[in-house]
Amino acid sequence: MDINNIKMVGIGKDVPLELREKVSFKDIEDALIKLKELGLEEVVILSTCHRSEIYYYSQKISPQQVKNFFIKYFDLKEDFLTYLHQVCGLEAVEHIFRVACGLESMVVGEDQILSQVKEAINTAQVFNSAGKILFKLFRDAVTLGKRARADTGIKDLALSISYIAVKFVQEVFNDIAGKKAFVIGLGEMGQKAIKNLIDKGADVFVTNRTFSKAIELKEQVPEIHIVPYEQKYQYIASSDIVISATNAPHYTVDYDKFKQAYNGRKICMVDIALPRDIDPRIGQLEGVSLYTIDDLKRTAEENKKERLSLIGVIEKMVKEEVKEFDKWYKTLEIEPYIKEVSRYAYEVYNAEYKRIINKLTNASEKDKENIKIALKRVANKMANKMIMHLKSNAY
């Protein structure tokens, strides 16, 4: 069995967006069926906004034939072939491991690709297009991706401003579950902050100068509570957390109005607007922790540097796992021999047990069971020794 039968053909993040869009698989089932008809023994499609890749196992079908499939399936011109990348054997193994670890992502170590890799193999299994080899390959990739993120801590190094805003709040309160959070502004960053707060268990109140936008968001996110914009100071004063993310050209949280409503409670305020929403003098009041966009950006830059510093560590993990997969693959060639050794060991143990029991006519049931266990143990030990020898010669 040749490991070079494992192959990948596709495009990645470095190909221009307008070209990536042309080869985005909309109907995975249809594509898998057609690829199987092409003669592929096993096939998995990984299709995301940054990559469209076909992983397959075949002794007969060449990468060029799969490239031609891309051209025909998506009705492309021949010159698109220059953008299609191919790898095979251990290079293909290393590639999917790197992808699952986030080493081939726009943001090193990002989480979304890991769930997409998992979804790809699950879909292939549903449609019976993934066999023993690709299932093992993708399962190992997902396991490695999880371990790389957990062991290095890269998953905790957030780059999203909205996510970091919530992390700052967590550092103030340790646990924000059940805390009252008030979000001003429902643009993209405001909505991301809302989602992160809800995920952490906060009780989220929102307000927006355009009230209809808050109503629309309520339909999508029923967990939120809507507050009329003119009542914002009343709710700010009674909140534990305030995140402001409007597009206003002036302060939307005025110092004097805030001070008048403020009751001295511990409150964490995060201003992720530019220009700023919250009068900076508010941060000087006792009990108030105020963070600005600069604080968040500084953390994002530090996190980015730390993520990049972890690339070498994760690459080492990838190399080690490629070696382990290679060892596993080589044992496939000796599987028939391993099965034969196990079968023979069972036959010998079973025959010897029957021979002894036929002679020991007065043996108790307990004695018979002990004899059976002892013979089986001896047979297994001898078989395992032979199997270990077979495996060591295969590597």
Which residues are known to be catalytic? 49
Q: Who contacts 146 (Cβ-Cβ below 8 Å, separation ≥6)?
A: 114
Find out whether 98 is annotated in a ligand binding site: no
Find out whether 315 is annotated in a ligand binding site: no
Find out whether 234 is annotated in a ligand binding site: no
Find out whether 85 is annotated in a ligand binding site: no
Find out whether 49 is annotated in a ligand binding site: yes
Find out whether 145 is annotated in a ligand binding site: no
Find out whether 24 is annotated in a ligand binding site: no
CB atoms inside a 10 Å sphere around CB 331: 14
- Taking CA 20 as the corner, what is the angle to CA 80 and CA 79, rounded to the nearest 5 degrees? 5
* Residue 203, beta-bridge partner list: 180
Cα dist. 230→5, 234, 242, 247 in Å?
67, 9, 16, 17
Find out whether 39 is annotated in a ligand binding site: no
DSSP per-residue letters across 120-138: HHHHHHHTT---HHHHHHH
Find out whether 190 is annotated in a ligand binding site: yes
- Taking CA 357 as the corner, what is the angle to CA 351 and CA 360, rounded to the nearest 5 degrees? 145
Find out whether 289 is annotated in a ligand binding site: no
Beta strands, E only, the chain = 6-11, 42-47, 52-57, 85-88, 180-184, 203-207, 225-226, 241-244, 267-271, 288-291
Find out whether 50 is annotated in a ligand binding site: yes
Binding positions: 48-51, 105, 110-112, 116, 185-190
Binding positions for NADP(+): 185-190
